[in-house]
């Protein structure tokens, strides 16, 4: 059977004190079966994004340990930074990578939320795919007013009732836990230095202006080359090859071509396999046919 893999990408409200960051990362990586892939501190935002993976139970436990350590070491009354935030462990999304569904990740988010609420006495809000009502889906809405504003409203405004935990904020603030698809940062370079073509193509391809639903896109000039810079927010619904083919068509409309593309950071293997199947017109292909799918931890 395919190994089950969940990614977790928690954002902690500390991007300056290296000892605090190290302690949080250590709490995560000490959990057996959890593997830290990346740690990105940002001093201006005073915030650190950690990425780690593992089986559902290991990732849930590691996220709990990270949240507990952050709550112990970060005082939100003393926190300042440019990025909006409501808590020491601010946002904790779970991402299905392999052998797990979005529903599995929603279940992980809910179990963790209950535990953070009861064991750590921290108010928890579930968001995106784990949201318990539509207004809770959008992270920006849940985070409105930030730590200071939520502290005033919680316990008084019924719309701010947490999903788990107390109806009051301690110095660790609140934690927003959820489930979402993996993000792919995909950039396409055009055979032109004309950024206006890139901007027009970006407008055609992005969901917000009527293009492909799960594409965010901007036209940029990067080192003198015109680039369509994209975030693919749900590659199962808007696959990489549909974005690529739409850009190729639109570029031809403006008399230019695609010079090359790049992926920034990590990409789930399935996104690239889907692309191969599409261009090879490979019908009836089963994931079992990938030789490596038969390999377990042996």
Judge contact between 81 and 47, C-beta under 8 A: yes
- Residue with Cβ nearer a copy of itself (5 or 73): 5
- Residue with Cβ nearer a copy of itself (25 or 244): 244
The DSSP element (H or E) to which 245 belongs, if any, is: helix 240-253
| Residue 7 interacting with a copy of itself (CB under 8 A) | yes
Total number of residues that touch a copy of itself (CB under 8 A) = 49
Neighbour tally for 167: CB within 10 Å: 11
**Shortest Cβ 21–a copy of itself spacing (Å):** 20
| Residue 283 interacting with a copy of itself (CB under 8 A) | yes
Query: Whole-angstrom distance between the N-terminal and C-terminal Cα of the chain?
Result: 13
**Cα–Cα distance for residue pair 225/195, rounded to 1 Å:** 8
Stretch that binds a copy of itself, among 72-80, 113-121, 131-139, 252-260 (CB under 8 A): 252-260
Binds a copy of itself (CB under 8 A): choice among 9, 58, 112, 122 = 58
**Cα–Cα distance for residue pair 279/178, rounded to 1 Å:** 34
**Cα–Cα distance for residue pair 169/76, rounded to 1 Å:** 10
Judge contact between 95 and 6, C-beta under 8 A: yes
Site string for a copy of itself, 258-277 (x = CB under 8 A): xxxxxx-xxxxx--xx-xxx
Residue 83 appears among annotated catalytic residues: yes
Binds a copy of itself (CB under 8 A): choice among 114, 241, 254, 256 = 241
| Residue 222 interacting with a copy of itself (CB under 8 A) | no
Rg (CA), the chain: 21
Stretch that binds a copy of itself, among 68-76, 155-163, 199-207, 236-244 (CB under 8 A): 236-244
Here the tokens at position 275 are: 């692309």
**Cα–Cα distance for residue pair 223/221, rounded to 1 Å:** 7
Of 45, 79, 83, 242, catalytic: 83
Here the tokens at position 66 are: 């990270």
Point out the residues that are catalytic: 83
Question: Which residues form the interface with a copy of itself (CB under 8 A)?
Answer: 3, 5, 7, 32-35, 37, 53-54, 58, 97-98, 182, 240-241, 244, 258-263, 265-269, 272-273, 275-277, 279-285, 289-292, 294-298
């Amino acid at each position: 059977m395919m190994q089950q893999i969940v990614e977790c990408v928690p954002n902690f409200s500390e991007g300056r004190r290296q000892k605090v960051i190290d302690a949080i990362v250590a709490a995560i990586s000490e959990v057996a079966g959890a593997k830290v892939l990346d740690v990105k501190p940002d001093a201006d935002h005073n915030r650190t994004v950690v990425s780690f993976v593992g089986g559902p139970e290991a990732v849930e436990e590691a996220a709990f340990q990270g949240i507990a350590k952050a709550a112990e070491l970060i005082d939100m009354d003393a926190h300042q930074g440019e990025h909006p935030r409501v808590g020491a462990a601010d946002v904790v999304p779970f991402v299905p990578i392999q052998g797990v569904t979005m529903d599995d990740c929603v279940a992980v988010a809910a179990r963790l939320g209950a535990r953070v609420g009861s064991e750590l006495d921290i108010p928890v809000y579930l968001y995106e795919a784990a949201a318990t009502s539509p207004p809770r889906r959008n992270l920006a809405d849940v985070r409105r007013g930030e730590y200071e504003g939520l502290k005033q409203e919680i316990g008084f405004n019924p719309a701010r009732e947490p999903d788990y935990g107390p109806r009051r904020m301690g110095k660790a603030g609140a934690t927003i836990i959820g489930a979402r698809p993996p993000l792919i940062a995909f950039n396409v370079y055009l055979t032109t230095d004309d950024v206006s073509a890139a901007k027009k193509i970006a407008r055609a391809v992005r969901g917000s202006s009527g293009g492909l639903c799960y594409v965010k896109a901007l036209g940029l000039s990067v080192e003198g080359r015109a680039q369509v810079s994209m975030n693919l927010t749900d590659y199962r619904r808007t696959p990489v090859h549909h974005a690529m083919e739409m850009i190729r068509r639109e570029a031809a409309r403006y008399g230019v071509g695609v010079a090359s593309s790049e992926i920034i950071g990590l990409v789930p293997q399935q996104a690239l396999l889907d692309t191969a199947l599409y261009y090879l017109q490979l019908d009836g292909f089963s994931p079992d046919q990938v030789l490596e799918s038969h390999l377990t931890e042996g």
